[in-house]
Structure 1
Amino acid sequence: MSEEHPDRRAVAAVEHTAPSRQRPEAPQVDFPPVRNGIDYLRSVIDHLSREERDARDLKYAVLHLQAATEVLLKARLQEEHWSLVFDNPLVASREDLASGDFSSCGISETISRLERFANVHLEVKHVRAIKNLTQDRNKLQHYGLTHNARAIEARATEVLHFLLDFVHLELVRHIDRDEWDRISFELDHVRHALGDIEGFVSRRMNDLKADIAEVADNIIQCPDCGQWAAIVLHGVRCTFCHLVLEPAEHAVSWGPNSWHSDNSNASASAEPTSDCPQCGRRAFIGSIFFEIAREKPQYACFHCQYKTDTAHCARCSRPFPADGNRCECGTCQPPKLAVPEPRNSD
């Protein structure tokens, strides 16, 4: 038998004594629901708080803010009962929940179930803000989106405020101490940065004070950015986000399927447009709230600025212009009798 070469013996000895080089273990992706939602919020803040924000930053701010909203709302729903996050709870199983292989309920249904089963009631303005955010996200995801950067920032600020409150009011008590310690740092970062972003909105609104004061009687809440900075004059022009709408376009924005105001009593059944009694243009819109009287709905012409209070029909409850002493709208049918009239006995 031939003797092993001395150099080979030396190499073998080194290989035997040297520590083995192993690849480091891959990091584990560990994001429980609440921590996952907070991480999305951190990403939103990172994109919006950059000094030189570009279109890509705004895109991912919208996508991640909608994701955070959905994750955190469903985390609260799951605390009520794990099956409620399934699109069809009747076929829910623990195995599907653990694997994530199931269809979950949409954001509108999530909000509805929170109210019905968990006694969690969202304010009208928050539901509206989430609805707008979801629409923006769907456009970005499927079709592409062209939108005003200032409007996106203002709307994002409102949803961020809501989510921070939601975490503290609805989720804290369902989180153990160790998990809360993990996410508290992230929440503090989000809260601090949100103050800087909100400062931008406040500073801009403060810069617009003088311009708004000159036309205070004709300022409404912008249907796009949500700021009380939109001037009614031959249509609508927002001084904050520069949205411009013709009267007919504005009617669509304020139609039956849109939001009207932070006021929860805003009518959702107002006629989109009618002929103005002052100028005759078809730009007369009902149940509009102006900044100087946010609790008082008015009919207004978005062409000539004619305004009158809103009344509600004593018969059908439909809103109509209170431009006289009448108590009925004059367009509804007389109510049918609940019981038939008795026959004449003769």
Structure 2
Amino acid sequence: MRLVQIKARAFGCLRDWESPLLNPGLILICGRNESGKSTLFNLITTLFYGWQPANRDSNPFVPWGLAEADCEGEIMLSEGEESVTIQRRLQSRPTGLLQQGDRVVELRNRVLPFVEVLPRDVFEEVYAIELNDLKFPETAAWESMQQLLGGQFNTFLKPVTHVTRELDEKANRLWRPDKRGKPRAREIQDRLKELRSMLDKARSNEDELHQAEAMLTERQNKLKEYIEKKAELIAYIDLCERLNPVRKQLERIEQLKAESDYVADYDDLPSEPLEHLKDIDEDLGSLKLQRNKLEDRKEQLEDTVSSYTQQDEVILENATDIKLAVRSYDRVKADRDELNNLDIDIKSWREQLRQR
């Protein structure tokens, strides 16, 4: 028979507490003073043997401020069999239930049928967990043990000296105060020392690993930043490559604007300077011809001036009179022509008169 699980809804200092599932083998209970180890042992005893005392007012395991104590346990009689559940409650009177599968038995405050052969005082002595209780055999417990074993001085009982010697040998195999031999405790100490060294090394490795992870995270963050910066630079370079021709054109425009400040001096130039220059060349040729003619005329005039005489001077002095005379001559000629015409008309009229 072994315990599978223990629950304490209200038992001494334990409230709404339950143990984990208990595996087969040795179960070690560790805790500080007044942490509930003795309370747990009494809870197990109560599950097996019932409430003692069975009075709510005098039972020390009824929690302060509550009107009842309540505990529950699950045991397995044999490996592979169905577990059994025990419930015990102490109110105005003790109650208890034993459930095995679909069958429920009312215990009230009776001992479990599975432990009836082992008295309560013997159970408390044999399974004591406190040093003060490790003083077996008590008289009453020893008498009960003798009755269970079939009377006093049975031949199969070993002498106390043999038992103590065997216990000493077994204890020496486990631990020796003189540090001789190689007891189990020394092996455990050596193993603990080795494990502590391994633990220190593991902690050191873990610290180094944490540092490496932190460094890796930092490097990854920096790498991410560099990648983002690289992407920004690539985008900036691409933008510059696309805008650089525009920049050069703008610089060229500014240069031309600066140079165009001197263009105002050539505002009078025609729109087609080559054509205009060709026209100028043609005009220049024409002017050269005119110049040649004028030079010839000049030579003629110079010759005329060189042949100028006194008679010419007299003519020039009387030029006005000469011009008037020429004009008068023209008038006289016109009058003469008119007279001739009149003579002709007269002759014509005379002829006509004759013919009539």
TM-score by length of 1: 0.21
Q: Which has the larger radius of gyration?
A: 2
TM-score by length of 2: 0.21
Q: Which has the higher contact order (CA 8 A, sep 6+)?
A: 1
Q: Relative to total residues, which structure has the larger helix share, 1 or 2?
A: 2
